[in-house]
Structure 1
Amino acid sequence: MSLTPQALRLLSREVVSLRSDPPEGVRVVFDEDDLTAMEGWVQGPDGTPYQGGYFRIRFDFGLEYPNLPPKCTMLTKIFHPNMSKSGEICVDTLKKGWKKEYGVGHVLVTIKCLLIYPNPESALDEEAGKQLLADYDGYCKYAKLITSIHATPKLPPPEFRNTTSKTIPQASSSSNTHVIPSTSTRPPNSTSSTTSSKPAPLQTRVDQEQSPVLPSTATMDEKALKPATSTKVAGGTKTSTAASKAKRGLKRL
C-alpha cells in the first residue's frame, strides 16, 4: 500500500537511522524499492523465557501513517499472554497510546519490553495469561520450550551477525605515537638512564690528569700558624731545628 510523499520521507530517514545505529536487540529488514514491505527482528532479552530466540514482526502501513499506527503481526510462534496464536500483538503503543513521533524503532523496542514484562490483564492468549498468574514457573518452562523449537536458529539472523566485534584501526606510519623500548632491550650504544654510568666530559678528565694534587688551603694555613714544638730527649729538652737556626743567627748579629 502506497504512502504519502511526506510519510515516505519520514520512513526513509528512520530506516537510515535504524541501519546506522539500531537499538540493542532490534533490527529492521526492508526492500529499498518498497519501504512499506518492512519487517523487524526482536532478540529475546536475557533472563526471560525468550532468551536465545529471534522474533520476526511484519509491518503493514496504512494510508494514514504516521498519524495512525502501523499494524504489526508476530510471524514467529511464541507463547505470550499479549500475543495471539494468529500473531496479533496487544500493546497500547499500537492503539490509543500511539504518537506519530514514535516510528518503527519505538514499536520494536516496545515489543521487546513486552517480552520482559507481559501483561496478563489484557491477554490475547488466555491460556498463557492464566498460567502466568497461576503457575509462573510452569509458564516460563513452556514459553522457553516454544522459544527453543520455533525461535532459536542454529545461527542468528544475518542482521545480528558481526555486530558485537569492532575492528581496532592500526596506527599509520604518520602517527605521532612512539614506542619506547624498555631499558633491558636497548642497544649497547644507547644512553642509559642511570647518571653514574655516564662518562666524564673530556675537558674534565684532562684537567684532572694535569693538575697536581695539592693540600687544601685550610691544611697549609694550619701548618704555617702552628708554633715550633720541642722534643724531649735524654738529658734535657732539645729545641726544634728551626728554632736553633734562629738563635744562631741572632748571636752572629
Structure 2
Amino acid sequence: MSLTPQALRLLSREIVTLRSDPPEGVRIVVDEDDLTNMEGWVQGPSGTPYEGGYFRIRFQFGIEYPNLPPKCTMITKIFHPNFSKNGEICVDTLKKGWKKEYGVGHVLVTIKCLLIHPNPESALDEEAGKQLLADYDGYCKYAKLMTNIHATPKLPPAEFRSTASSSSTTKAPQMTQASSSRPPNSASSVTSTGTSARPTPLGMSVSQEQSPVVEQSATIGDDTKLMKNGLGGTGKIPAAGGAKTGAASKAKRGVKRL
C-alpha cells in the first residue's frame, strides 16, 4: 500500500537523518526502490540480558501514516514480557500514545527502552511476565540464553560495522599526521593553536642570536680607540705609514675575531 506524496517526503527526510546521525544502538535498512520496505535494528543495551544481541524489527506503513503509527513486528526471537512469540510488540507508542510527530527513529528508541525496562503489567508473553515478577534471576538467565542463541551473530550487522569502520578511518590519519609532524627530541614549542613554533637551530642559544649586535658595538668601540691612539691626543692626522699600520692592525683583529 503506497503512501501519500507528503508522507513519502517526510519518510525520506527521516531516512536521511537516521543514516547520517542515528541514535545510539539503532540502525535502519531500506529498500531504495521502495522506501516503505524498511527494517530496523536495535542493539541490546549493556547491563541487560539482551546485551550483545541485535534485534530486527519490520515496519509496515499504512496509507494514513504518519497520522496513524506503523505496524511493527519483532523478527528476532526474544524472551520478553512485551513481545509475543509471533513478534507482536506491546508498547503504547504504537497504539494510543502515537503522535504524528513521531517517526521510525522514535519507535526504535522506544523499543530499546523497553529492553531496559520491561513492563510485566501489560505482558503479551505471560510466561515471561510471571517469571520476571517471581524469579528475576531466572528470567534474566533464560532471556540471556535466548539472546545468545537467536540474536548474537559472529559479527555485528553490516549497518553497525560500516559506522564503526568509517569513524575509525577518519580519525586515524589525523593522529598519524600530528605524531609525524613533530620530529623526536625536537626543541620546538607548541602554541595554543596546536601548531609548532619554528625550532631554534641546534647549538645556538638566545644570546648567540643576539651576538652580531654585540660584536658590532665592540667594533665601534675599537675603532674609536684606534682613532684616539692614531691622533695621539693632539688632534692631528697621523702619517700615511701610521694609517696603513692602523688599517692592517684593524684587519688583523678582524681576522682573529672571526
TM-score for the superposition, normalised by structure 2 = 0.73
Alpha-carbon distance in 2 for matches of 1:9, 1:35: 10
Alpha-carbon distance in 2 for matches of 1:55, 1:137: 22
Deviation at 1:32, TM superposition (A): 1.1
Larger proportion of helix: 2
Deviation at 1:36, TM superposition (A): 1.1
Letter in 1 for 2:9: R
Aligned to 2:126: 126
Deviation at 1:197, TM superposition (A): 7.0
**Does residue 1:179 correspond to 2:192, yes or no?**
no
- Quick one: which of 172, 195, 205 aligns to 2:218? 205
Greater CA radius of gyration, 1 or 2?
A: 1
**Does residue 1:18 correspond to 2:18, yes or no?**
yes
Alpha-carbon distance in 2 for matches of 1:73, 1:99: 19
Alpha-carbon distance in 2 for matches of 1:32, 1:2: 15
Deviation at 1:149, TM superposition (A): 0.7
Alpha-carbon distance in 1 for matches of 2:198, 2:110: 54
State the secondary structure of the residue aligned to 1:161: helix
Aligned to 1:60: 60
Alpha-carbon distance in 2 for matches of 1:24, 1:141: 25
State the secondary structure of the residue aligned to 1:163: helix
Letter in 2 for 1:80: H
Q: 1:9 to 1:195 in 2, by over 3 A?
A: same
Alpha-carbon distance in 2 for matches of 1:133, 1:140: 11
Letter in 2 for 1:115: L
Deviation at 1:181, TM superposition (A): 6.0
State the secondary structure of the residue aligned to 1:206: helix
Alpha-carbon distance in 2 for matches of 1:149, 1:138: 17
**Does residue 1:5 correspond to 2:17, yes or no?**
no
**Does residue 1:102 correspond to 2:117, yes or no?**
no
Aligned to 1:195: 207
Structure 1 unpaired stretches of 5+: 213-253
The number of aligned residues is: 205
Identity across the alignment (%): 75
**Does residue 1:84 correspond to 2:101, yes or no?**
no
Q: Which moved more, 1:203-212 or 1:157-166?
A: 203-212
Aligned to 1:28: 28
TM-score for the superposition, normalised by structure 1 = 0.74
Structure 2 unpaired stretches of 5+: 178-192, 226-258
Q: Which moved more, 1:4-13 or 1:71-80?
A: 4-13
Alpha-carbon distance in 1 for matches of 2:78, 2:122: 17
Deviation at 1:3, TM superposition (A): 1.3
Q: Deviations over 1:92-122 (max 9, x none)?
A: 0000000011011100000000000000000
Q: Deviations over 1:133-163 (max 9, x none)?
A: 1111111111111101100000000000142
Aligned to 2:146: 146
Aligned to 1:42: 42
Alpha-carbon distance in 1 for matches of 2:89, 2:63: 20
Aligned to 2:254: none
